[in-house]
Amino acid sequence: MAKIRDMIPAFELFQPTTVADALEMLDEHREQAWVLAGGLDSFDWFKDRVKRPSAVVDLGGIEELTGIRDVENGLEIGSMTSLTAIERDERIRSAYSIVADAAQHVATPQIRNQGTLGGNVSQDTRCWYYRSGWPCYRAGGNTCYAAAPQAMNREHCIMGRSRCVAVNPSDTAPALIAVDAKMIVENNGGPSVYDAEDFFIGPAIDITRMTVMEPRDLLTRIYIPATWANADFYYEKIRDRGSWDFQLVSVAAAFRRSGDTIEEARIAVNGVAPFPVRLDAVERLVQGTTGDEATANAAGELAIQGARPLRHNEYKVPLMRNLVRRAVRSVA
Amino acid sequence: MDQAESSTVLEQKYSRRTFIKGVIATGATASSAGYLFRGSPLLGAATYQTATERLITLNVNGQERRVDVLPHETLAMTLRYKLGLTGTKLGCDRAECGACTVLIDGVSQYGCSMLTHQVRGRAVTTIEGLEDADTGELSIVQQAVMEEGGFQCAFCAPGFIMAMTEMIEVNPNPTREEARIALSGNLCRCADYDKILTCAMRAAELARSV
């Protein structure tokens, strides 16, 4: 699709200064409203005329959504906190370094300066058929162009498909799952709390959304419980280019050990399914081991059980296997 | 008044530099008119009723600028086509090249991917605002670029220079690798990266010696 280099189509801009006002605006405009965080995902949609909301609610003026606070048994990150702030925060860097590490792997310095944690986890998929405005399942149509015989699907999923084969693009998502973060979503009816892994949903649940959030909802805070503070972390993101790029496959893992033995583990992989995948079976497998070579190999093999590559993304299967292996091996 | 006399008078009135700047500003106004009114129905929607105030004051390069801004207008558009600050380049208009990098409260961001209304009350710095407003003395980074001659076509230069300006603030003593990461949000299609990095290192060196 040719890129259009003129103005974004007109919309009404709202710039609330409190969460209550924002929720009221979202309630009033429902499906016509678009929540603007950093805007780096949003403006592409607007400029390409693929999404044309009539009302845009800019969260940039809401102070209560920005900042990192110490709370009882953990840290609370406002959803509008910039990725740079997360990357540089001393508390996050020392106790939950995997979250800082993941934030550091997002796109470019300028994008991290402007992009927010809430926006990073809420962004839409990068499937270019969908993003170019093709009427696919996710866009309300009745086919998937990316799974067609001639389709270019090198970046698409190898598991978790349900009509749609797109992947979740978020770098911070698997890290948040690894530290067992809770997502606090508010609407006019009050707040709801979701485990990070339940916040992201696949097309089998709702093909038009990437997260549990519906039109009236707002992700206000992300809570990181102290349970996984100072665990052994492993994060790795594989991408085509050294900057600016979304992951092909990424892995985030947290291990709690007593001596050499892994007591408990949390491992998540992104870039392989329409949602970040938590590897429960692998976690159970590595429990009670030392993360030795044999365990790492078994973990890798177990992780890719049931993987079904498309025509051009077979490479993701060994990539995922090896990343899980490396994560487990990092403990030993 | 003969030719020689008139040029002397002109020289007294305008330095060559201000004269060239004047021409650029006029040119920018003329060309932006074509850009803005190229028959776009979207821009014609001036009667669009909105909650957003349109006539706003922006703090650009230390000056208060009154400007009429549409709710859906990006900062790069306002800077280039309404304020005549064409030093900020538009490359991809998709946050994918870095040519439009400006500083918002000293932090580098892409001017193409934010709404002008989002920077109300904040300090915007463009490449035009780096030199000393009174003396015209170049900033440290500009001086370093002059000395090292890092750019080939230099379309990307304003963006890189803004990113370097932030870099020497955040980390005045970077390794070459750290500079590479700090500038990883800017592309150079001439692929002059090595020389650009030398500029960045020189800028950091100058910053440390000040």
Q: Tell me, yes or no, whether B57 and B118 share the same domain.
A: yes
Q: Which of B110, B170, B178 to mutate to test the interface with A (most CBs of A within 10 A)?
A: B110
Nearest Cα neighbor of A7 from B117, B87, B45, B164 is B45
* Cross-chain residue pair A60–B163, CB shorter than 8 Å: no
What residue numbers bound the domain in which B107 lies? 51-129
Residues in chain B, how many?
210
* Cross-chain residue pair B113–A39, CB shorter than 8 Å: yes
What Å distances lie between residue B75 and A3, A102, B102, B118, CA to CA?
Answer: 19, 29, 9, 9
Residue B11, pLDDT above cutoff 80: no
* Cross-chain residue pair B70–A7, CB shorter than 8 Å: yes
Q: Which of A4, A6, A7, A101 to mutate to test the interface with B (most CBs of B within 10 A)?
A: A7
In a domain, B162, yes or no: yes
Q: How many domains does chain B have?
A: 3
Residue A279 tokens read as: 């590897």
Given B66, B99, B129, which residue is the final one in a domain? B129
Position A65 scores a pLDDT of: 98
Q: Tell me, yes or no, whether B125 and B144 share the same domain.
A: no
In a domain, B45, yes or no: no
Please tell me which of the candidates A5, A13, A40 has its beta carbon nearest to residue B95.
Answer: A40
In a domain, B96, yes or no: yes
Query: SS3 of B115, please?
Result: strand
* Cross-chain residue pair B109–A114, CB shorter than 8 Å: yes
Give pLDDT tens digits for A142-189. 999 999 999 999 999 999 999 999 999 999 999 999 999 999 999 999
In a domain, B159, yes or no: yes
Residue with tokens 């485990």: A195
In a domain, B44, yes or no: no
Give pLDDT tens digits for A234-261. 999 999 999 999 999 999 999 999 999 9
Q: Tell me, yes or no, whether B123 and B152 share the same domain.
A: no
Position B44 scores a pLDDT of: 41
Please tell me which of the candidates B40, B45, B110 has its beta carbon nearest to residue A110.
Answer: B110
CA–CA gap between residue A261 and residue A110 (Å, rounded): 41
Predicted TM-score of the model (pTM)? 0.90
What Å distances lie between residue A226 and A71, A116, A272, A288, B139, CA to CA?
Answer: 10, 22, 28, 22, 46
Q: Which residues of A87-107 are buried (b: 16+ CB within 10 A; e: fewer)?
A: bebeebeebbbbbbbbbbbbb
Q: Tell me, yes or no, whether B93 and B147 share the same domain.
A: no
Confidence of residue B42 (pLDDT cuts 50, 70, 90): very low
* Cross-chain residue pair B113–A114, CB shorter than 8 Å: yes
Average pLDDT, rounded, for chain A? 96
In a domain, B46, yes or no: no
3-state SS track over chain A: CCCCCCCCCCCEEECCCCHHHHHHHHHHHHHHEEEECCCCCHHHHHHCCCCCCCEEEEHHHCHHHCCEEEECCEEEEECCCEHHHHHHCHHHHHHCHHHHHHHHCCCCHHHHHHCEHHHHHHCCCCCHHHHCCCCCHHHCCCCCHHHCCCCCCCCCCCCCCECECCCCCCCHHHHHHHCCCEEEEEECCEEEEEEHHHHECCCCCCCCCCECCCCCCEEEEEEEEHHHCCCEEEEEEECCCCCCCCCCEEEEEEEEEECCEEEEEEEEEECCCCCCEECHHHHHHHCCCCCCHHHHHHHHHHHCCCCCCCCCCCCHHHHHHHHHHHHHHCCC
Q: Tell me, yes or no, whether B123 and B164 share the same domain.
A: no
**CATH number of the domain to which B177 belongs:** 1.10.150.120
What is the mean pLDDT of the segment spanning A4-25?
A: 91
* Cross-chain residue pair A7–B51, CB shorter than 8 Å: no
Residue A64 tokens read as: 């209560």
- Give the angle A318-A321-A326 at the CA atoms, nearest 5°: 120
CA–CA gap between residue A101 and residue A254 (Å, rounded): 13
Answer whether A77's CB lies under 8 Å from A117's CB. yes
Top pLDDT among B128 and B7 is at B128
Confidence of residue A7 (pLDDT cuts 50, 70, 90): confident
What is the mean pLDDT of the segment spanning A182-205?
A: 97
Confidence of residue A4 (pLDDT cuts 50, 70, 90): low
Q: Tell me, yes or no, whether B33 and B4 share the same domain.
A: yes
Given B103, B129, B155, which residue is the final one in a domain? B129
Q: Tell me, yes or no, whether B98 and B168 share the same domain.
A: no
CA–CA gap between residue A133 and residue A48 (Å, rounded): 8
What Å distances lie between residue A324 and A133, A266, A267, CA to CA?
Answer: 35, 11, 8
Residue B51, pLDDT above cutoff 70: no
User: Contacts of residue A114 in chain B, CB cutoff 8 Å?
Assistant: 109-110, 113-114
Confidence of residue B15 (pLDDT cuts 50, 70, 90): low
User: Contacts of residue B114 in chain A, CB cutoff 8 Å?
Assistant: 39, 114
Residue A128, pLDDT above cutoff 50: yes
Q: Tell me, yes or no, whether B67 and B102 share the same domain.
A: yes
Residue B73, pLDDT above cutoff 50: yes
Answer whether A218's CB lies under 8 Å from A35's CB. yes
Q: Tell me, yes or no, whether B55 and B122 share the same domain.
A: yes
Confidence of residue A6 (pLDDT cuts 50, 70, 90): confident
Please tell me which of the candidates A7, A12, A40 has its beta carbon nearest to residue B113.
Answer: A40
In a domain, B191, yes or no: yes
Nearest Cα neighbor of A108 from B95, B207, B10 is B95
**CATH number of the domain to which B115 belongs:** 3.10.20.30
Confidence of residue B189 (pLDDT cuts 50, 70, 90): very high
Position B19 scores a pLDDT of: 46
* Cross-chain residue pair A109–B118, CB shorter than 8 Å: no
Given B129, B159, B175, which residue is the final one in a domain? B129
What Å distances lie between residue A144 and A52, A134, A162, A255, CA to CA?
Answer: 22, 9, 10, 38
* Cross-chain residue pair B74–A58, CB shorter than 8 Å: no
Q: Does A294 touch chain B (CB under 8 A)?
A: no
* Cross-chain residue pair A8–B74, CB shorter than 8 Å: yes
In a domain, B169, yes or no: yes
Q: Tell me, yes or no, whether B202 and B151 share the same domain.
A: yes
Answer whether A90's CB lies under 8 Å from A114's CB. no
Position B210 scores a pLDDT of: 82
What is the mean pLDDT of the segment spanning A5-16?
A: 89
CA–CA gap between residue A152 and residue A143 (Å, rounded): 15
Position B47 scores a pLDDT of: 40
Please tell me which of the candidates A7, A40, A108 has its beta carbon nearest to residue B43.
Answer: A7
In the sheet that holds A74-78, the strands lie side by side as A68-71, A74-78, A218-225, A182-187, A190-195
Give pLDDT tens digits for A202-222. 999 999 999 999 999 999 999
Q: Tell me, yes or no, whether B124 and B144 share the same domain.
A: no
In the sheet that holds A33-36, the strands lie side by side as A12-14, A55-58, A33-36
Q: Tell me, yes or no, whether B60 and B125 share the same domain.
A: yes
